[in-house]
Chain A
Amino acid sequence: MSKATKHVQEELEMDMTPMIDCVFLLMIFFVLVIDLSQQDLEDLILPKALYAVPDDQPADVRPIVNIAQSGNIIYKKNQWADPKVADKQYTEDIHKLLVYWRDNVCKKENIKKETVGGGMTMTVVDDPVLIRADKWTEWHYVGKFMTACTQKDAAFWKLELAMSEEDKEAKLQK
Chain B
Amino acid sequence: MRDLIREQVDEEFEMDMTPMIDVVFLLIIFFLCIDFKVLEAKLPAYLPKDVGAHSTDVEPQEKLEIKIVCTNWGTESPRYKKRPEGSYRLEGHQIHWEVGPKKLREIDKLLEELKRIAKDKSKMQTDPKTGEPKLMGVVVEPTEETTYGDVALTVDAVTNAGFTDVNFGGGMGARGSAEADKRRSMRSGR
Given A83-B174, A163-B42, CB of A45 within 8 Å of CB of B87: yes
Q: How far is the CA of A54 from the CA of B170 in the complex (A)?
A: 28
Q: How far is the CA of A163 from the CA of B51 in the complex (A)?
A: 27
Q: Does A135 contact B (CB under 8 A)?
A: yes
Q: Does B17 contact A (CB under 8 A)?
A: no
Interface of A is mostly: mixed
Given A149-B47, A160-B43, A166-B39, CB of A118 within 8 Å of CB of B152: no
Q: Does B65 contact A (CB under 8 A)?
A: no
Given A29-B29, A136-B149, CB of A152 within 8 Å of CB of B42: no
Which residue of chain B lies nearest to A133 when distances are taken between CB atoms in the complex?
A: B148
- Chain A 27-55 per-residue mask, 1 if CB under 8 angstroms from chain B, else 0: 01100110100100100011101111111
Count of chain A residues with a beta carbon within 8 Å of a chain B beta carbon: 66
Q: Does A130 contact B (CB under 8 A)?
A: yes
Q: Does B25 contact A (CB under 8 A)?
A: yes
Q: Does B13 contact A (CB under 8 A)?
A: no
The residue from B52, B55, B88 contacting A69, defined by CB atoms under 8 A apart: B88
Chain B interface size range: 35 or more
Which residue of chain B lies nearest to A38 when distances are taken between CB atoms in the complex?
A: B38
Cβ–Cβ < 8 Å partners of B30 in chain A: 28, 32
Interface of B is mostly: mixed
- Of the listed stretches A3-11, A100-108, A140-148, chain B binds A140-148
- Chain B 143-170 per-residue mask, 1 if CB under 8 angstroms from chain A, else 0: 0111111111101100110000000101
Contact B26 A157 (CB under 8 A): no
Contact A165 B39 (CB under 8 A): yes
Chain B residues numbered 22-68 whose CB sits less than 8 Å from any CB in chain A: 22, 25-26, 29-30, 33-34, 36-58, 68
Contact A28 B26 (CB under 8 A): yes
The residue from B47, B57, B87 contacting A156, defined by CB atoms under 8 A apart: B47
B121 to nearest A CB, angstroms?
A: 23
Given A140-B174, A163-B156, CB of A41 within 8 Å of CB of B38: yes
- Chain A 101-137 per-residue mask, 1 if CB under 8 angstroms from chain B, else 0: 0000000000000101111101010000010011111
Contact B45 A160 (CB under 8 A): yes
Q: Does A162 contact B (CB under 8 A)?
A: yes
Contact A69 B87 (CB under 8 A): yes
Contact B175 A140 (CB under 8 A): yes
Q: How far is the CA of A165 from the CA of B89 in the complex (A)?
A: 19
Q: Which residues of B contact A (CB under 8 A)?
A: 18, 22, 25-26, 29-30, 33-34, 36-58, 68, 79-80, 87-90, 93, 142, 144-153, 155-156, 159-160, 168, 170, 172-175, 180
- Pull 20 A–B residue pairs with CB atoms less than 8 Å apart, ordered by A: A25-B25, A28-B26, A28-B30, A32-B29, A33-B33, A52-B43, A53-B41, A54-B40, A71-B174, A118-B53, A134-B148, A135-B152, A136-B89, A138-B147, A139-B68, A139-B146, A161-B44, A161-B45, A163-B40, A165-B40
Q: Which residues of A contact B (CB under 8 A)?
A: 17-18, 21, 24-25, 28-29, 32-33, 35, 38, 41, 45-47, 49-55, 67-69, 71, 83, 114, 116-120, 122, 124, 130, 133-143, 146, 149-152, 155-166, 169, 172
